[in-house]
């Protein structure tokens, strides 16, 4: 009898060891593991997080105009950007918001695109420099300067610098140069002050151009005033500025009073989404509908 009890106890002890070992599998035996499989976690039923630039931003102004987010009626324009939009003050803020939110969408200058986010094609067209220059990518804008026909020698010299190889190289630091074969700059060494006014978007690159030009022609002084495209065009017509800056096309009615317009650069505005978003293309209509809040879920687009 004692032998039988001992045998039972030994069997129970052995069984408990087996169960314990099985429950604490340290050998990594395939039979003991629960296989896992990596799948995309993007849920297109989630709401879209719209991320937009702050009011007054030149990039926002161009974006809403080009995409139809801005509407005109009775001579007045209204920015219809969704009141639910997350506002980012500056390009870095937009990129940080989109990179940190799987369901976000925003927009930045094509010159600022990096690998923390990804761009979306618009109507099947990629936002490349070649497509922008060809006019195929529609969310793009020219950077234009306008003048009258009585430019001073120093103002003409500054214009020549902008369109030289040295000037276009400076443009290429942030935007798309329009002349890949521009001639080297040869200053006429005229002295005096050049007054430039207009677009808040064009002003930063013109300020860089002015600094480089003044280093070459030390007798020149270039004043750059960011007053808006309309004010820059009117200022040139009225003789308030030597050179006007515009980040929109010049209207026919404006050109009737001006002597010439020169496109000094092109700027594309890229629509960006999070890297985990599988979307690759949007139509222009879908972009507008997203940013005014008509399409609110990712399942509604693409």
pLDDT, position 64: 95
Q: Where are the alpha helices (DSSP H) in 143-202?
A: 153-162, 165-171
Helix (H) or strand (E) holding 97: helix 91-99
C-alpha dihedral sign at 279, 283, 284, 288: negative
Give the pair of three-digit tokens for residue 49. 């997080």
pLDDT, position 145: 97
Per-residue pLDDT of the chain (302 residues; tens, 9 = 90+): 444 444 444 444 444 444 444 444 434 444 444 333 344 689 999 999 999 998 878 788 889 999 999 998 887 889 999 999 999 988 899 999 999 999 999 999 888 899 999 999 999 999 998 999 899 999 998 999 999 999 999 999 999 999 999 999 999 988 899 998 999 999 999 999 999 999 888 999 999 999 999 999 999 999 999 988 889 999 999 999 999 999 888 889 999 999 999 999 998 999 999 999 999 999 999 999 999 999 999 999 97
Q: CA–CA separation, 98 vs 119, rounded Å?
A: 11
pLDDT, position 40: 63
Give the pair of three-digit tokens for residue 214. 């003044």
Place of tokens 């991320």: 51
Q: CA–CA separation, 174 vs 176, rounded Å?
A: 7
């Amino acid at each position: 009898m004692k032998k039988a009890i001992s045998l039972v106890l030994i069997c129970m002890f052995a069984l408990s060891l087996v169960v314990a070992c099985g429950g604490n599998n340290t050998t990594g035996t395939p039979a003991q593991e629960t296989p896992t499989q990596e799948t995309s976690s993007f849920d297109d039923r989630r709401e879209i997080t719209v991320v937009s630039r702050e009011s007054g931003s030149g990039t926002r102004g161009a974006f809403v105009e080009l995409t139809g987010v801005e509407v005109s009626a009775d001579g007045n324009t209204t920015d219809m950007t969704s009141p639910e939009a997350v506002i980012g003050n500056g390009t870095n803020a937009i990129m940080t918001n989109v990179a940190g939110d799987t369901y976000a969408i925003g927009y930045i200058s094509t010159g600022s695109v990096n690998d923390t986010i990804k761009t979306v094609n618009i109507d099947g067209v990629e936002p490349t420099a070649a497509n922008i220059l060809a006019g195929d990518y529609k969310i793009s804008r020219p950077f234009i300067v306008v003048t009258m026909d009585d430019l001073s020698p120093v103002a003409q010299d500054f214009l020549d610098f902008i369109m030289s190889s040295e000037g276009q190289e400076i443009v290429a630091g942030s935007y798309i140069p329009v002349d890949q074969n521009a001639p080297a700059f040869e200053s006429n060494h005229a002295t005096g002050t050049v007054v430039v006014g207009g677009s808040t978007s064009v002003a930063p690159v013109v300020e860089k151009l002015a600094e480089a030009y003044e280093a070459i022609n030390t007798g020149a002084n270039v004043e750059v005033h960011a007053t808006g495209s309309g004010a820059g065009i009117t200022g040139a017509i009225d003789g308030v500025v030597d050179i006007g800056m515009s980040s929109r096309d010049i209207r026919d009615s404006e050109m009737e009073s001006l002597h010439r317009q020169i496109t000094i650069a092109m700027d594309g505005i890229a629509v960006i989404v999070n890297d985990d978003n599988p979307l690759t293309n949007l139509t222009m209509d879908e972009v507008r509908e997203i940013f005014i809040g008509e399409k609110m879920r990712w399942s509604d687009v693409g």
